[in-house]
Amino acid sequence: MRNLLLPILLLISTEALALGWSSGGGELFLDASNPWFVRNTKSVSYCVRIDEANFGISEDRAAELVTSSFAYWTRFFATSSIWQNWGVAHQTFHRVNCNSLANADVTFLFGTLDPLLPQERKQLSTPERRIGIAVRTDYDLSTMRGRGFIYLSPQEGKLALKHGIGKIDRPWSYENGALVNLVLTHELGHVFGYRHDSTLFPMGERFTDDLLDPIYARAYAPISRALESGKVSELSSTLMDNCFEESEVQNVPENRSLLAFYGVREGSRCIRVVQAGNSLRVFSRVQPESAWVLTGTGLVEASTRKELAGPTIYIPPEQSALPREKQVFGDIRNSRYLTLPGGVIESATVRYQTVDRHVQRDLALVKSPLESHLSGFWNGISIPDALNASSFSLFTTVPGSSEKDRR
């Protein structure tokens, strides 16, 4: 028995939401969010097709980024013994020719609708309004195995992404495909069973829309490079790594306010915030080529941990893919849904001060898997996330950096 054409959409605006399946409450999701592959599937084939003239990167580069995204989720699921039992992302992934959708378990389409069939193209009736989409075209309830495609809109041409004002004009060419890597990783998260989840990097509902904002693009480009190189451990400690153009410091109050919040010396336009154990360190430098200078330090204390719920998986009555022994998956003999464990949220208080002690304040640090938020007060106003310049939009001028502001 098979279920067909279940799209998981990432849309630029809610106007496009009616074009695909959506939830407003009360629906039976059943297997719609199941991983496409579990432990009985040992090998997954994929193919890559791209409109090189309009998408923004080469086919070779696209193939490299697909490999990077698969590798990220393989590492992610390998950290949990429960996920190892389920066998999600524990398959071998091999590339095949892309003559038709039947050739591969997962087809990656970069700016092209070929070789989609008419009923499959119908799911993409307005592709220019979508950053990315993962569509499951086939699912076997007995084997719990799916098949489908991931589509990314090109940055130019007839199918070019219409991303609105204030976004990057050529997002896929930016930093040699850095944003492509993150969007692919997001879409593959759906393939491996995750719905939109703001607590899990990179599965937030607005994550890829935010990526097209120049400020977020600069912040996430280093993360993309670290993901591609497999240096995930570095991401867990580097909370922010931004370097602004001189004009972006002079003409954008939010950027100046972010630097002033940490007491960065005048003239510097690069900032890095790093956590190592119970220590928080802030570095700054005048320009990308100059040496980093320690600006301030913080002591991380009163840390707490909270387990997050992971994906909910539907167990079809007719499935033969998974054993029903209670000790392996929990008791799936009498249950049709299982909620698996997700990541961990860590919360802590940070007592921060600059090296010269002109700035002193208490901060609240919240870290979920590969995503962090650092909040605090400045002149009596709450700063919701001091790792993003946009949080400082209330300020049009920079307060004196010599004030003490511990609250």
Residue with tokens 């399946």: 21
Residue 322 lies in a domain: no
Residue 294 lies in a domain: yes
Alpha helices by DSSP H, listed for 132-266, are 178-191, 207-211, 214-229, 232-235, 246-251, 253-261
Count: domains in the chain: 2
Query: What beta strand segments (E) does 247-359 contain?
Result: 270-276, 279-285, 293-314, 337-354
Q: Give the domain range for residue 221.
A: 2-14+21-235
Last residue of a domain, one of 183, 208, 235: 235
Same domain, 260 and 362: yes
Last residue of a domain, one of 235, 267, 283: 235
| Beta-carbon contacts of residue 170 (< 8 Å; ≥ 6 apart) | 56, 155, 156
Residue 318 lies in a domain: no
Q: Give the span between the Cα atoms of 369 and 116, in whole angstroms.
A: 35
- CB contact at 8 A, 150 and 191: yes
Q: Give the span between the Cα atoms of 140 and 142, in whole angstroms.
A: 6
What is this structure's pTM? 0.67
Residue 319 lies in a domain: no
Q: Give bridge partners of residue 44 from the DSSP assignment.
A: 93
Nearest to 46 by CA among 66, 60, 61, 32: 66
Same domain, 69 and 190: yes
Q: What is the pLDDT along the chain (407 residues), one digit of tens a residue?
A: 454 444 444 333 222 222 223 223 333 467 888 899 988 899 999 999 999 999 999 999 999 999 999 998 988 887 666 666 778 888 999 999 987 767 899 999 999 988 787 777 776 778 888 899 998 988 998 899 999 999 999 999 999 998 777 788 899 999 999 999 999 999 999 999 888 877 677 888 888 888 898 877 877 887 788 788 775 544 446 788 888 988 988 888 888 899 999 999 889 999 989 887 788 889 999 988 888 899 999 998 877 877 666 677 788 888 887 765 544 445 444 557 777 666 667 888 999 999 999 999 999 988 765 567 888 888 778 888 888 887 887 654 444 433 444 33
- Would strands 360-368 and 381-383 be described as parallel, antiparallel, or unpaired? unpaired
Residue 398 lies in a domain: no
